[in-house]
Each structure stands twice: as structure tokens, then as C-alpha cells.
Amino acid sequence: MKNIYIMVILLTISAVSFAQETEKTYSREADGRLLLKTNATTEIQEFTKEDPIIWYTPLNISQNENEDSRDFGIAMGPDSTLHMVYCDDRPLPGAYSQRIVHRSKGFYEEEWSEDVIIDEFSGLAPRNNHKASINVSNNGNIHVVYHYWAYDGTGRDQVGYTKYTKDTDTWSSEVISGDAGTIASVYSDYPKLTTTTNNITVVVWGTDNRNGNDEAYLAYDNGGWQEPILISSPEMNKAQWPVVVAAEDEQVLVLFREYTDTHDSLSVYYRVFDASTGDLGPIHKIQRSQRLSTSNFDYYDQFTACYANNNKVFIADNARDTIHSYYFDMNTEILSKNHEVHISNYTGNPNYNLMSVCADDDDIIHFCNTIWNVSSNAVRYISYEEGVGFGEDEIVSHEDAIDAPRIIWGVDKELHIAFCDDSEDTNDDGYVDREVYYTTEDNTLGWSENSANHTTFNVYPNPSSTGVFTTDLKENYTIAVYRISGELIYSSENASEIDLSSYANGVYIMKARNAKYNLMIKLIKK
């Protein structure tokens, strides 16, 4: 049975209140404070974070040690089942086959399902599929899009789509990017997708070279896949990185960027798509407040978006390691600039912030990111609240992450993160062998001991007269100890000894958790 728990506050921010301005920016001071700048005045706004989020020790989802696993996506269904997809090397005789793999974990399940290859095509080559994105619609159907590289002699991708139909318990796959020859560049970005309230699937992709110039396209399934629609302008050059977010009333916000060879001109555009009618609104440009372009690495400048309640979409656009945030009101179609924050103080070459965002039920925006060009590309977390600004960033995992992590807010009221580590060449074939990982937050207290599904482990001596306890946990765990009141007093990763000697005699709750198991036991100091 699923653990019974009590929700606790994830993140507490105290701040000096201030009047909302049209334009506000932040810069970080040497003492860690954020300097708030408005058009009229300058005031100091200090953020105090009471407790960091405790993240489980990440679980290796791909578990393909001698092969390369990457290009992942994560989503949660309406029944709280988690779904992950990723690209996995599956060798064939004389060649490599890079396939799209799916795993899931139900709300009441401790174990993830066995991995299943889902990109099976009838009559098409089963090779080299990359960059998967996933979404689960309200009817429980699973939707996955990716670059389908069939080795058909053109050297370019098509956009593949795989669907799991809940009613029939079947997977099916097809190409949705158009007729033969209308295909996207092999080096293009992730295709993205969303589903509307009425279960219409909308897919976008960029760097489509069917007309000899990189373009961005949209396709949607409303009783059948419609012909792809051009979402960039024919006059644009290198339309890339489209993002799509479903809002209320079947309205969908579509964003994309245009990149030029001058390395100092990269603009983000948006337009509104009505999935019920197929109508696409006019193109509008997002004006950036600044551009930190000093070299030819604009490929890594990224933007992302998520639905943020009240029929608004939150947009995060970054230049190097500075995040610019916006809200787009789907009712009024008004875009407003909010804050910007510099989230890396590393020196040297420009740093590149690869990020993902989601919003919770209280309209707090949660960022997950990794920063390139630093000694350790740790997976990081930072929160944002309208009218308050950004909190302090914290480490989720010390793995050397590569590619943008993915973060989602689940209907189980928890944050879930997927990322890919930059592993070594484990089989000496000259290629890096990456792994895909999953983690989530520890926000539970008040467990009853017999409600935890767990493996056998021991803590001794218990009771302890010294307050020092020894564990015999056999796997990697994040360990946390709480007072009965719920106050966190101790946390560590993979600790074999827990020292509570400085605390008063009494009963404490120890939790050892990773993405696979939830363990709990009472510690008694007397």
C-alpha cells in the first residue's frame, strides 16, 4: 500500500514586500542577497530559505551500463502513474539500434516496470530514434514523439509518434511529419507535445528543411493527424526549439526561436493555436531586456514554458546563465516581463543554463537546471514566485549532468526530476556511455511504521544510550531524521552511522529513501 503521509511546506521564503512594477530585474550581491532593480527606485530584497528540499538518492532508470542511454522525457498520468521514456542503445548484428524505451511506476507501486521498446513501425527500419518527449492525456492515453531516423538514404530525421491506447492496452507508431521527403534535420532539437483538456494532441518541431530553409512546424491529432502547419514565417532563418503549452478552452501557446549566423541575433516568438478549430494566431516577438552573446555558443541559449494556473503560461528565457521570466495571459493575450536573475557566479567561459520548469498548485514555479562550462555540471533546483522573485539555488544531484533535466509537478503533489549523467566510456569503444536517472523530493512526515513497503534493514543499538546508531542499509539512500514534531535535525547520503548524541533523549523518526524504496523506523535515545 502507498505510504500514508502528511504534506509539509516545501520551501519557505520571507521577503520585504514591495509594490509590483512593470519592469523588475535582480542581480546577486556578494553576500548572497538579490538586488531588486525597478524603473523608479532601487531597493534591497532579502530572501531567507528556511530548509532546502531533501531529494532522494537518484535511481538509475536506464541500467544499461555498457551502452549509451539519453534523450529522455518524464510525465505523470491522471492516476498518478509516472512514465519515463528515453533513447537506449540496443545493438543489432553489425550495427547499433537506438530505440525509444518506456518504463512506468504506479502510485501504489515501489518498483518500476520492466523496460519496453515502444517505437515499433510496420515496414520501416527500426533504427536510430532520438530525443523523446512524453505526455499523458486526461483519458489515460500515453503520447510520445521523437526523431525517427530510418536510414532511408536521406540522412535526415522524420518525426515519429507512438501512442499507448488505454482502452485496448496497445502501442502503435507512425510518422506524423508529412509525406516522404518532408523531414526534419537530424541535428534538430527535441520535438515537443502537449494534450488539451479534450485530449487533442499537439506536436511541434523545428529545424525542418523541407523547403530548403529551417522552419518550425505543428501537427495535431483531432480525430486523426492533420497536415503539418508552418508556425514560423517563410522569411525566417533557422527556426528552432519550439515549445508548446496547453491552456484552457483548447487554447495552446506555441513558442519558437529564430537563430542567425551573426551570433548576436536570436529572438523568441509566440503565437496562439486553437486546437478545436485549427486556427493559428499571428506571430509576436518577445523582446529581451539584454543579450549576453560573446561567442558562438548560442546553440545552448534556451527557453521553456509551463502552464501556471489561472489560464496563464510562465515563460523562462535565458541568455547564458541569466534567466528572464514572463507571464502570458491566455485570456487577454498580454505578455508581461517579470524578473531576471543571474544564477551562476562561475568565472571563465560563458556558462550555459539548460533548464526545465513546472508550476505547482500554489503558483510557485520550480526550475531544474544544469550549467555547462563548470567543473561539475550538477543538477540544480531553484524556485520562483510572482511578486516575490527567485529563491536560492540548491543542489539536487552531484552527477555530471548533460542535456536539460526535466521537472514536473505531479497530481501526487510532489516534484519529480529526470536527468542524464555524463558518464565515462565504460566499454572502451570511444563513446560516452550515459545513464538516465530519476529522483523526487522527500516531503513526507507522519508515517505509520507498518505502512512502509521496504526491504529488511537494521538500526542498532536501538534504543541507544549514547545517541549513536549504526545502520546496515545495502543500497544508496538519502537518510533524514526528524523530531516527532516534524522538524528535520539530520540528513546525509549513505551514512552507516547516525549521531544524535547532541540531542535530548526521546523518540525520533528516521527515514531512508531513494527512488525505489521508502524506509522508516523509530530511533529511541534514552
Which band of pLDDT confidence, cut at 50, 70 and 90, is reported for residue 511? confident
Beta-carbon count within 10 A of 468 CB: 13
Rounded Cα–Cα distance for residues 3 and 335 (Å): 42
Beta-carbon count within 10 A of 431 CB: 13
Whether the CB-CB separation of 368 and 390 falls below 8 Å is answered with: no
Of 488 and 255, the one with more pLDDT = 255
With a cut of 80, say whether residue 114 has pLDDT above it: yes
Rounded Cα–Cα distance for residues 298 and 211 (Å): 24
Of 355 and 445, the one with more pLDDT = 355
pLDDT at residue number 492: 85
- Sheet of strand 69-76: strand arrangement: 69-76, 82-92, 95-105, 116-117
Peptide bond into 350 cis (omega under 30): no
Rounded Cα–Cα distance for residues 484 and 508 (Å): 6
- Sheet of strand 459-460: strand arrangement: 459-460, 468-471, 497-499
Residues 6+ apart with CB under 8 A from 62: 69, 86, 88, 101, 115, 435, 436
pLDDT at residue number 262: 55
Residues 6+ apart with CB under 8 A from 186: 147, 149, 155, 156, 157
Which residues are 326's β-sheet partners? 315, 337
Q: Give strand ranges (E) for 9-152.
A: 13-14, 24-28, 34-38, 42-45, 48-49, 54-55, 59-60, 69-76, 82-92, 95-105, 116-117, 129-136, 142-148
Whether the CB-CB separation of 26 and 15 falls below 8 Å is answered with: no
Beta-carbon count within 10 A of 326 CB: 21
Of 525 and 152, the one with more pLDDT = 525
Interval 85-101: pLDDT, tens: 999 988 766 666 789 99
Q: What residue type is assigned to position 101 of the chain? A: V
Question: Domains of the chain: which residue ranges?
Answer: 448-525
Rounded Cα–Cα distance for residues 73 and 416 (Å): 11
Q: Give strand ranges (E) for 176-214.
A: 192-195, 201-208
Question: Whole-number mean pLDDT of the chain?
Answer: 76
Whether the CB-CB separation of 217 and 228 falls below 8 Å is answered with: yes
CA nearest neighbour of 296 among 322, 258, 262: 262
Which band of pLDDT confidence, cut at 50, 70 and 90, is reported for residue 181? very low
Of 42 and 118, the one with more pLDDT = 118
pLDDT at residue number 320: 65
428 backbone φψ class: left, alpha, beta (φ>0; ψ -120 to 50): left
Whether the CB-CB separation of 16 and 44 falls below 8 Å is answered with: yes
Which band of pLDDT confidence, cut at 50, 70 and 90, is reported for residue 423? low
Beta-carbon count within 10 A of 312 CB: 22
pLDDT at residue number 110: 73
Q: What residue type is assigned to position 226 of the chain? A: Q
pLDDT at residue number 269: 93
CA nearest neighbour of 270 among 252, 284, 250: 284
Residue carrying C-alpha cell 526550475:
367
CA nearest neighbour of 68 among 128, 146, 7: 128
Interval 291-333: pLDDT, tens: 444 433 344 557 899 999 899 999 988 766 677 889 999 999 9
- Global pTM reads 0.75
Rounded Cα–Cα distance for residues 59 and 67 (Å): 17
448-525: which CATH architecture? Sandwich (2.60)
Which band of pLDDT confidence, cut at 50, 70 and 90, is reported for residue 391? confident
What is the sign, positive or negative, of the torsion defined by CA atoms of 234, 235, 240, 242?
Answer: negative
CA nearest neighbour of 240 among 208, 194, 282, 287: 208
CA nearest neighbour of 495 among 483, 512, 514, 515: 512
Of 108 and 472, the one with more pLDDT = 472
Of 421 and 17, the one with more pLDDT = 421
pLDDT at residue number 133: 96
Q: Can you tell me whether residue 330 is helix, strand or coil?
A: coil
Whether the CB-CB separation of 26 and 388 falls below 8 Å is answered with: no
- Grid cell in block for residue 328: 502570458
pLDDT at residue number 266: 72
- Grid cell in block for residue 211: 523547403
With a cut of 90, say whether residue 256 has pLDDT above it: yes
Which band of pLDDT confidence, cut at 50, 70 and 90, is reported for residue 223? very high
Peptide bond into 234 cis (omega under 30): no
Q: What residue type is assigned to position 165 of the chain? A: T
